[in-house]
Amino acid sequence: MIHSLSMSRRWALRALCGVSLFASVGAAVAQSAYPSRPILMIVPQTAGGTNDIVGRVVSQKLSEVLGSPVAVENRPGAGGNIGTQFAAKSAKDGYTLLMTISSSQAINPALYKNPGFDPVKDFKPIALIGAVPNVLLANADFSAKSMKDLIAMAKAKPGQYQYASAGNGTLNHLLGEMLNSMAGIDLQHVPYKGVAPALNDVLGGQLPLVFASLPSSLAHIKAGKLKPLAVSSPKRSPALPDVPALSEVVPGYTGTLWIGLFAPAGVPAEVQAKLQDAMTKTLAAKDLREKLELQGVEMAAPTTPEQFATLLNDDIARWAQIVKKSGASID
């Protein structure tokens, strides 16, 4: 009887080990087979903006590298918080990614009491793609021909001129507040729900000025429909070499937008590593780099996820100070 019970226990243990081994092998196979179905790339801004333009170019090349479809889905709202929250709460399996910009990840935590996500704890950096300057643009018929003209006009008539942005708390908005503070002027802010409607109203003459990213406005600039007064980067953009940096007129002024890919925290290490490797290959592709550079994107030097995480943390601290000084808040 004792011998029979002992044999039964041994068989039970062997069966249990077999099940455990099968489960482990199954999980390993599932991860090694990643991706086995389409990947969703969340863009938390509207179609036609910088992030959307970059996301669609990158998703196409990433699909080729991974051998699996990567579909872009726009989930705009609340300055990028809606889509970012969705990505943070999605399954931790590598099939939902977040293509986002520094204004959402680094600025929103300072602007919103509760943005609904933690940019550091809820996400893992996959790849830094590049940076773009914003451009201060004027309607083609606006009387100011340069930044010096605009500043002189704004000082002569405080509060009389308005500028559009993609929304409260966006980088476009804060760049205008920085300009007001550093140049001693009072441009009035008019927020829109995305950069496309803001550009449309300036194109139509409803407002004279707009801060917009270079990729979202370059076609209008080249067509002569919008007049670039200055770029927000520390130096002139290669895409607009004749347009001065704002710092040439307002010393110390700078504000660029970076774009990067994140995965929700908790994604298996093997999947995260595969995504990082795929993005390294994607960003090295000559055709992709040419497409993005033509849009005004300044491609980032090869950057490790750890370096990207450091950049994020540094920007969170820097923008928290800028937001506090400006007095801007959303809720």
pLDDT-derived band at 32 (thresholds 50, 70, 90) equals low
Distance of CA 201 to the CA centre of its chain: 24
pLDDT in tens, 289-305: 999 998 889 999 999 99
- In the chain, what percentage of residues exceed pLDDT 90? 72
**β 162-165/209-213 pair status:** parallel
Single pTM value for the model: 0.78
3-state secondary structure of 139: strand
Interval 239-266: pLDDT, tens: 999 999 999 999 999 888 899 999 999 9
Q: How far, in Å, CA of 213 to CA of 48, rounded?
A: 11
Contact 311, 166 (CB under 8 A): no
Report pLDDT digits (tens) over 114-134: 999 999 999 999 999 999 899
| Phi and psi torsions of 267, nearest 5° | -65, 135
- The mean predicted confidence, pLDDT, of the chain is 89
Q: Which range (144-158, 214-228, 315-329) has the least confidence?
A: 315-329
CA distances from 312 to 96, 140, 159, 305 (A): 20, 36, 35, 10
Collapsed DSSP state (helix, strand, coil) of residue 249: coil
- pLDDT value, residue 194: 83
**Domains of the chain (ranges plus CATH)?**
37-132+257-326 (3.40.190.150), 133-248 (3.40.190.10)
- Output phi, psi for 252, to 5 deg: 90, -5
Tens digit of pLDDT for each residue in 41-95? Answer: 999 998 988 899 999 999 999 999 999 999 999 999 888 999 999 999 999 999 9
- DSSP states along 144-180: --SHHHHHHHHHHSTT--EEEESSTTSHHHHHHHHHH
Q: Which two tokens stand for residue 259?
A: 């774009």
**What is residue 19's predicted lDDT score, i.e. its pLDDT?**
45
